[in-house]
Amino acid sequence: MIRIFSSLGRDLGIDIGTVNTHIHVQGRGVVLSEPSLVATDTKQEGIVAVGADAERLLLRTPDMLDEMRPLRDGFIVDYRVMLTMLRHFMNKASRSVGRTRVIMAVPCGITDVEKRAMTDAIIQAGAREAYLLEAPIAAALGCHLPVFEACGSMAVDIGGGTTDIGVMSLGGKVIAHSARIGGHDFNESILQYIKNTFSVMVAVETVEAIKLELGTALPPQEEMELSFLGRDIANGLMKRIIIRKSEVYQVMQETLQRIVDEIKSVVEQTPPELAADIMERGMILTGATALMEGLGQRLSEELGIPVQVPPEPGFAVAVGLGQAGKEFARMERFIIASKNRKGRA
């Protein structure tokens, strides 16, 4: 009995993104990591499955179901589907959602309307209290940066749809910026290159595998290649294609440079005394894209700043949300919106 009640009312930290959702439960760590995906019935438009279950069904019966991602670039595009997905994930992560305080990571600079939609969704999904925290703040907390001290800390979180950049000091944000560019843009570039060069269509999973296997932010020192199957656009038959690492590197250049330029712009806006701290202590790079070969080195060389990548960069924001729960009394200047079940903001 003691073991059951010990889990009641534990904080949930929700990192809900365009591509994946991670949930941290206080005292248990990251307990859920699933695609931000919903499968709907093509005929009745009813929701059939959510998350990993939806992904499995869509792979097996794609003609009978429609794929829906209720967020695009980190922002809600279908509130009804978003609410269903959020409720499903919250109930899967915790048996006591009704007693739960939820802290959710959101892109920097979201509008008041978007903040209200997010906090409303959290409360309607069953939480007792809802709080919003910008993604780079959570990433910094998850990597144990000294954000409450009188020195500059910088975190960059590259998600599926957005790159969020934050500079913090003395328990508050100095600069927070969100660019609608992320890991999904790399996939789109690779997909278009394959379509235009080889005249084949490939599955999303194939494109992701190519990015993970051959993607690099630096000119490849050694050539590698990957073989995959695609459907010939002209005759509909399957066709085997070989793509090289040097090709993928070239294809990814435009997106990489855009990310570099966005980060550079924030560094240029940072007050000199804080910029000096960052130059000395370095910045943190999080999000699954941070694992791309050579990305940390590329950013370090172009920005002149040491770049650190944590062991599990994809979970850093979720872990940071858990840390925010522990440090909640000191989070006042970082929380950008809140709401409780009684409707008070």
Show binding-site residues for ATP. 160-162, 208-211
The span from the CA of 52 to the CA of 37, in Å, is: 8
Q: Hunting for tokens 């209200």 — which residue is that?
A: 116
For helices 204-214 and 245-269, the axis angle rounded to 10 degrees is 80
Q: Which residue do the tokens 């990993």 mark?
A: 52
Q: Are 35 and 17 in contact (CB under 8 A)?
A: no
Which residues make up each annotated binding site? Answer: 160-162, 208-211
Exposed e or buried b for every residue in 188-204, given b needs 16+ CB within 10 A? ebbbebbeeebebebee
User: Which token pair is 290?
Assistant: 């941070």
Q: How far is CA 212 from CA 222, 242, 245, 278, 291, in A?
A: 16, 15, 11, 29, 9
Pairing of strands 101-106, 163-169: unpaired
Instruction: Please list, in sequence order, all residues whose beta carbon lies within 8 angstroms of the beta carbon of residue 249, skipping any fewer than 6 positions away.
Output: 214, 215, 216, 218, 219, 220
Q: Is the dihedral of CA 294, 299, 304, 310 positive or negative?
A: negative
By three-state DSSP, how is residue 102 classified? strand
Category of 235 on φ-ψ map: left (φ > 0), alpha (ψ -120 to 50) or beta:
alpha
